[in-house]
Each structure stands twice: as C-alpha cells, then as structure tokens.
A = this chain, B = another copy of it.
Amino acid sequence: MNSDLLIVGGEGDLALRKLYPALFSLWIGDRLWEDIRIVALARRELSQEEFLALVREWFEDNKDDRPVDEEAWAAFTQRMHYVSTDATSTEGLQVLREQHFADAERGLVVYLATPPTIFAPVCRTLEAAGLARPSTRIVVEKPLGHDRESFLEINRDLCAIFSEEQVYRIDHYLGKEAVQNLLALRFANSLFEPLWNNQYIDNIQITVAESIGVSGRWDFYDEAGALRDMVQNHLLQLMCLTAMEPPAHLSATDVHNEKLKLLSCLRPMDDNMARENTVTGQYAEGAVGGQPVVGYCEEEGAAEKSGTETFVAIKAEVDNWRWAGVPFYLRTGKRLPKRMAEILIQFKEMPHSIFGPQASMAAPNRLLIRLQPDEIIRLELMNKTPGLDSGMPLETVSLDLSAPAGEQLPDPGAYERLLLDVLRANSTLFVNAAEVEQAWVWVDQIHAAWERIGKQPEQYTAGTWGPSQAIAMVAREGRSWYESN
C-alpha cells in the first residue's frame, strides 16, 4: 500500500536537519513512490515558497560538496506541501484531511517531530479529524519520559488512540549500517554464534562519546543527565542487539521479544552495586580539539550548581545462561575527547599458550563494531610475524569487514533507513513499549540507588575520558577500556 507522510512540527529542527534531507536522498534513490505526499504541518505562517526556501537553506548547510540534482529537487519539492495550522485544532486537521489525505485507501505515516507534551492532544485531534485510520502509523522519538511512570503516561495517551503495532519509536542508532551488519555477522555466519557466550567472551564494551557540551539546551539536559538521555535508550538498545538470543525470525515481534528478554535479565542495582559498578561525572573546564571550553555549570543558562551527570560508566550484568559472569561496560558522556560510538566484543585469552615465552605477545581476539564517526566492523586476530625469526613471533592483524572509508558507499543515513522502514511498515528496527518500559525500570533503580547513597558526579576535565574512577572500575577487574584508532 502506498503511503503518504505527515510531519507534525514540520518546520522544526529535526524535520529540517534530518527528515527532509533523508527523504530527498530516498527520492533520488527511487525508494519513494512517485505520487507520495509529504505534508509539513506547523503553526508558523509560511508560504509554500518560504517553506521550500527554508528546507533548501538547511539542506545546503548540512550537505556534502556534491552539487544538488536540480531536476530531482524540483520533482521532490513538488511532492511537499506546507500547511500552517494548529495540530490540535480539529477543524485544521479536517481541512488537511480533505486536501491531502482524503483517500483512505492510502497509508498514512504521521511523524510527531514535537515535544512529547503535545503527543496526546495531537493524537486526539487526528482521531477527531478522521486521520487515525487502522493503517495510520505514528512515529515518535526520544525523550519518551524521564522515568517509567512518565513514559507510561505518554504511552497511555498514544495507545488510547493507536494500537502498539501502529506506534514506531525511533532510536536512530538502530538504523546504522554497522548495527544491521552486527545482525548479519551474528546470524548469517556459523563462526561467531558458537563463541557468543560467557565461555569465550571476556567482556563487552559499549561507548557512545560526544565531544560537544550542552550549550543551548542546559535546562533540558539538566533535567535528564547522561543516564536518562543516552543509556536508557541508545546504549541499552545497542546492548540488546549485541547480546540478545537469536530470534527465530528476523521479524519485528521476534526481535522485540528477544530484546525485551535481555532487558529483563539486567541485574537490578542495589546500593552497593550502585556504589561499585557505576561512576558519574560532570565536565569541568578544559579543552576539546585544541579549543578551550567552559565547564558544565558555566554553560549559557546554567545554574551555579547541579548534581546532574554529564558522564556515566556502568558495569552492567546480565543474569542468564549465556552471559552470566560477562561484564558489559557501558559509558557515555559529553565533552569527551571525540565523537565516537563503538561496541567492542573482547574474547577471552587463550586457555594455554603452546608458544612458551612469546605467550605474552598473543593479545586476545577482538571484534569491533563502530557506528561513529565512520562505520566499521573489524576483527582483530593474531598472526605469525612474517620472516625467519625463531620460535613463533606473533602480531595482531586487523581485518575490516566493511569497505575502507574511502570506498564506502554514500552513507544511507540512519533516518533514511528508518523512514523507509516506517513507510514499508517494518518495525523490526524500532523499539516497542515493553522495551522502553523495561529499560526505564532498570534506569529508575539506578537513580533510586544514587539518591539513597547520595551519589554526586565527580568533576572531570573537558576533553578527557571522564573521571578516573571510570578507568579504575574496569581496572579493578584486570581489564581496560578499549582505545581504538
């Protein structure tokens, strides 16, 4: 069924920065049907020309050096319509329906590119205006609450109008090519799955590092902190795809069930674990990329003092047969040395070295899945050092499964894939309500423990890898954070 697209919040940041460029790229790649309607809805009074000029302006600012295909652009913008109205006005949406979405035989995707506070009224209005059809799909994005309770409230409002199958919760990390490839690697090769457990894997590390600070959105960020802003969604989702049991089929239901099972196996944090297995930090002034930067509480709009963490490192444990005893080290933070997102699978050391004194030279095998800044899957093996030296001198070789950076296909972009999947009604790479709720349960426990033990973030110099306690937490167990190049 051909579908049309309604973007509520159609002249906002997300729409201009991500959605329209992704849609144009899909258009160029012939991935959209020719008669698709893309309707941008917003309150701001803009003519169609002013709107398209705005879209073009943002597009130019963010695109690469290649010239725009003007013919394609003209055809694409023919499919776009700006509608200035209040999304909570039933009359407004009725007019919208008549003008653009009168054909109930066509599918409709509604992207709520708005704060969650207006999800409920918008959904009610969509229903009142006759746009909440059985085939309508609703797309929403984080933040989905700041704890379990507030998430359930948001979700209750959505689900009062739409069924769970109609709601597509985006986590854009899941649209990355490297994440797809992780699934291919695990489930299309007989080599890895037999080793994918606590008998052969020593530890798994998931790092999502940002070099930027919170400038411009201090208030918003200070309400959340790194645990809610990043761990609850992105890091736990990446962990799910890395650690879940093989689903019976690559279908939405099967994948969601396996992810939920994994989240349910996360060991709850008591006070003692919250003390030993979590580290929080807040950036102080320092330098990133050679530029001096201010501390968190000196940012524009900051309060003088805040107990919010801009960095968190967690040793998570999964209580199931596959992963018992394997630590999952999660860390994320702002004002870290670079922007980077990686999953590292570190295999165990060989049980025995037949090579005698050279044993120390045999580093454990590693599998690296990097999502940012470039997408790479790399396998690190030991090889004999070429040549005639006696014994068996060993060296590490890195095998890249992905094409070298220079030869990579143009990044399809996570939003392209996810938008296309919504239009195709494939929710495999989205997050269902039960997962979000279960992730909040775990995160809420940590927050509660932090409150009970009075945990305050340690200061760390901007441009470093967080407080030294994060390093110590891993070092205490004889391990270290992986530093990739």
Contact = CB atoms under 8 A, between A and B. Distances in A.
B350 A177 contact: no
A190 B247 contact: no
B195 A392 contact: no
Interface in A407-434: 408-409, 412, 416-417, 420, 424, 426
A354 interface: yes
Interface stretch (A109-117, A178-186, A330-338, A446-454): A178-186
Given A394-B184, A416-B388, A417-B388, A191 B354 contact: no
A195 to B, nearest CB: 6
Interface footprint category on A:
35 or more
A187 B386 contact: no
Contact of A194 (B194, B386, B387): B194
A95 interface: no
Nearest to A391: B250
**How many copies altogether?**
2
Interface in A391-409: 391-392, 394, 397, 399-403, 408-409
Contacts of A185: 381-383
A249 to B, nearest CB: 5
A189 interface: yes
A165 to B, nearest CB: 18
Contacts of A356: 249-250
Most central of A177, A195, A383, A384 by chain B CB within 10 Å: A384
Contacts of A349: 190
A194 B191 contact: no
A387 B364 contact: no
A348 interface: yes
A349 B189 CA distance: 8
Contacts of A417: 388
B409 A387 contact: yes
Given A248-B354, A392-B180, A420-B388, A364 B187 contact: no
A121 interface: no
A205 to B, nearest CB: 17
A484 B144 CA distance: 52
Contacts of A362: 188-189
Interface in A136-152: none
A328 to B, nearest CB: 19
Contact of A397 (B26, B183, B401): B401
Nearest to A246: B354
Given A183-B392, A184-B382, A249-B356, 15 more contacts: A181-B383, A181-B384, A184-B394, A188-B353, A188-B383, A188-B384, A188-B392, A189-B350, A190-B351, A191-B200, A248-B352, A248-B354, A387-B412, A390-B426, A399-B399
8 contacts: A177-B386, A188-B392, A189-B350, A189-B365, A190-B348, A248-B352, A249-B356, A387-B412
Interface of A: 26, 29, 31, 177, 180-181, 183-185, 187-191, 193-195, 199-200, 246-250, 254, 347-356, 362, 364-365, 377, 379, 381-384, 386-388, 390-392, 394, 397, 399-403, 408-409, 412, 416-417, 420, 424, 426
